Amino acid sequence: MLKSFIEVSPESDFPIQNLPYGIFSTKENPSTRVGTRLGDFVVDLAFLDEQKLFDQQYGFFAESSLNRFMSAGRETWRRIRQRLTDLLSEGGDTVWEEAMRVRALIPVSDVQMHLPVAVGDYTDFYASREHATNVGIMFRGKENALMPNWLHLPVGYHGRASSVVLTGTDVIRPRGQVKPKDAPLEFTASRQLDFELEMGFFIGTGNDLGEPISIENAHEHIFGMVLLNDWSARDIQAWEYQPLGPFLAKNFATSISPWVVTMDALESFRVQGPKQDPAPLPYLKSDSANGYDITLEVTLQSATMDEAQTISCSNMKHLYWSLTQMLAHHTVTGCNMRTGDLCGTGTISGPTEDSYGSMLELTWRGEKPIKLSNGETRKFLQDGDTVTMKGYCQGDGYRVGFGEVTGKILPTIDR
């Protein structure tokens, strides 16, 4: 098994098999720059570039976002990944001296992470059959759980890139129009604030306007993935969403994890997705294994709890629609994607009650409150609650993980 020249725990999300990318700074050097993560260290790629340890000087590692690097294309991504593997592996390239290694490897406790990508556009999909079915049963009944189009195309909507935030950013409870059953319309703080367990994927290289991305080539355009929490105000959504879909209910915050895990790092964990019946139209049809075996976990910790409590365990392999199908569908009209565009998978729910990816499902619209370890109960999220999502792929003696995305609910601001 490939090992790095520094010891990394088998339980770490960041062994040499991962090598994700993020943007960081330090107190000693406040300039934002690109790094990769290896165990408990951040490797300063701008420093490596400055020391001419790559095949050429790229320049884009000194940037405040990954965008220029991402736009370079898959051949460059793979060349840099291979070079980093050579430099960081046990018994690998010894071209750099011990003094260089000391400067290049920074303890993770000494770094400040930043939003990894300058997000252009943000699109959120609705790709989990289990989630769509659960929501459909709640609102329309079992007979009409799935809308007629759902099994034929990956449903999506355009979200807000401006409110995509980094893990650790507090989320202020939103206000909006709410129409309780048998009560007058009111403008109030949301009483049904929710999380959504999702994965996000970033577009590395885009396409020209009018030129769709084919299902066969879609994977070449996807740079990597992050954990994503698409915070949602269910009561605001229930009143506003017809006929055009969610608007204010989802535009106030979308949290992502700081490390972008590349598709090459995830290649070993590709799996065949669920059988699609009816068969999709030709532009969405693929026989490749385009699903991913990524274990996902959600914990909740109230303001009075000493430790977080696991409330959901799911897996990305449950998604009905694949990333490549989402991208092919998004561009089939000729829509041009750009470097830094972010797409969310939609809530990832599994087949069992403990694998549901939202409070809406876990509590079945508030009918079955969750019991917390300190005696509290939850129908939806309350002020002071902290939601944390984690995800990883389990290999033989190592794991490729995403770290975590976390956010704390703060009271609404009255103005």
Q: What is the pLDDT of residues 161-206, one digit of tens each?
A: 999 999 999 999 999 999 998 899 999 999 999 999 999 999 999 9
Work out the pLDDT band at 277, boundaries 50, 70, 90: very high
- 122-410: CATH topology is Fumarylacetoacetate hydrolase; domain 2 (3.90.850)
Lowest mean per-residue pLDDT among 242-246, 247-251, 272-276, 280-284: 242-246
Q: Is the dihedral of CA 310, 315, 320, 325 positive or negative?
A: positive
Q: What is the pLDDT of residues 2-24, one digit of tens each?
A: 999 999 999 999 999 999 999 99
Q: Is the dihedral of CA 324, 326, 330, 336 positive or negative?
A: negative
Q: Say if domain 21-114 classifies as CATH 1.20.1420.20.
A: no
Domain limits, the chain: 21-114, 122-410
Work out the pLDDT band at 101, boundaries 50, 70, 90: confident
Output the pTM of the full model. Answer: 0.97
Work out the pLDDT band at 244, boundaries 50, 70, 90: confident
Q: Does residue 274 have a cis peptide bond before it, meaning omega lies within 30 degrees of 0?
A: no
- Tell me the residue ranges of DSSP E strands in 121-260: 122-125, 156-158, 164-166, 171-172, 175-178, 186-189, 193-194, 197-203, 222-230, 232-233, 254-256
Work out the pLDDT band at 98, boundaries 50, 70, 90: confident
State the burial class of residue 223 (Cβ atoms within 10 Å of its Cβ: 0-12, 13-18, 19+): buried
Active site residues: 131
Using alpha carbons, list the distances in angstroms from residue 39 to 5, 8, 42, 85, 114: 11, 5, 8, 14, 19
DSSP 214: P
Work out the pLDDT band at 111, boundaries 50, 70, 90: very high
Query: What gap in Å lies between CA 127 and CA 254, rounded to an integer?
Result: 17
* Gyration radius from the chain CA atoms: 22
Residue 272: per-residue pLDDT: 96
Task: Give the pLDDT mean for 312-330.
Answer: 99
